[in-house]
Amino acid sequence: MIKILIVDDEKPICDLIDINLTAAGYHCRSVQDGLEALDLIESEKFDLILLDIMLPGADGFDIMEYIRPLKIPVIFITAKSDVRDKVKGLKLGAEDYLAKPFEVVELVARVEVVLRRFHKTERILQAGDVTVDLEARKVTRAGKPVVLTNKEYGLLVLFIQNKNVALFKETLYEKVWEDEYFADSRTLELHVQRLRRKMGWENNLVAVYKVGYRLEI
């Protein structure tokens, strides 16, 4: 399983990230102190580090200097949105830079992009009795093959990668249809209904009022 270290001096933020990345299928550890983070990095192997800049003990830039030779991808997550800080972080070797406050869906998407860039993404997705083989593009339910359209497959992958996270209709439509979402269109709703039936998710793939949908697993 992909292992992610979250380093932020605000525990509520660590907990928020931890809950959502765990729901997306990742294993997370979190610390609120820079020196504790360095101890963990020395003793454990991580596939990705989400790193704040303003930390007690050692700041994010110092930690980045230390871990750069280890070739662990880093995403800075910080309230320091000044362009100079962003440039400094990227020049030190960070793969991405996300300013607070941020949308959880965007964070999960950026994590996925960086892990894919480093060939560290899981190739098998699991949600209950549903399994998706991303390499073979095959879907099974309780061991039996399920035939999906391209759009249904795209929605399925997004929902599993963001389990227990509310996804906006606009986000789903733009990512799967690669087009702008129109509120009066029922295309997305019809595809979600068909996906519910095929996956047996009548009680799992729920509508979130004025937002979109959430896969509850």
Amino acid at 75: I
Here the contacts of 145-150 (C-beta below 8 Å, separation 24 or greater) are: 146/198, 146/199, 148/195, 148/198, 149/191
> And the tokens for 66?
């230390």
According to the model, what pLDDT value does residue 118 have?
Answer: 79
Q: What value does the mean pLDDT take over residues 44-49?
A: 93
Q: Do 64 and 54 contact (CB within 8 A), yes or no?
A: no
Q: Phi and psi for 5 in degrees, rounded to 5?
A: -100, 125
Confidence of residue 13 (pLDDT cuts 50, 70, 90): very high
Q: What value does the mean pLDDT take over residues 75-88?
A: 80
For CATH 1.10.10.10, list the domain ranges present in the chain: 124-215
According to the model, what pLDDT value does residue 126 have?
Answer: 86
Confidence of residue 190 (pLDDT cuts 50, 70, 90): very high
- Topology adopted by domain 124-215: Arc Repressor Mutant, subunit A (1.10.10)
Structure confidence by residue, pLDDT tens digits, 82-111: 778 778 878 888 899 888 888 888 898 899
Q: Which region among 38-42, 89-93, 161-165 has the lowest average model confidence (pLDDT)?
A: 89-93
Q: What value does the mean pLDDT take over residues 179-200?
A: 89
Mean pLDDT computed over every residue of the chain = 89
For CATH 3.40.50.2300, list the domain ranges present in the chain: 3-117
Q: Do 31 and 11 contact (CB within 8 A), yes or no?
A: no
- CA–CA distance from 117 to each of 35, 47, 55, 214 (Å)? 28, 12, 27, 26
- Topology adopted by domain 3-117: Rossmann fold (3.40.50)
Structure confidence by residue, pLDDT tens digits, 106-137: 898 899 889 888 766 667 788 999 999 887 88
Q: What value does the mean pLDDT take over residues 141-147?
A: 95
According to the model, what pLDDT value does residue 116 have?
Answer: 82
The C-alpha R_g of the chain, in whole angstroms, comes to: 19
More confident residue, 169 or 179: 169
Q: With 80 as the cut, is the pLDDT of residue 19 above it? A: yes
According to the model, what pLDDT value does residue 20 have?
Answer: 87
Q: What value does the mean pLDDT take over residues 8-31?
A: 90
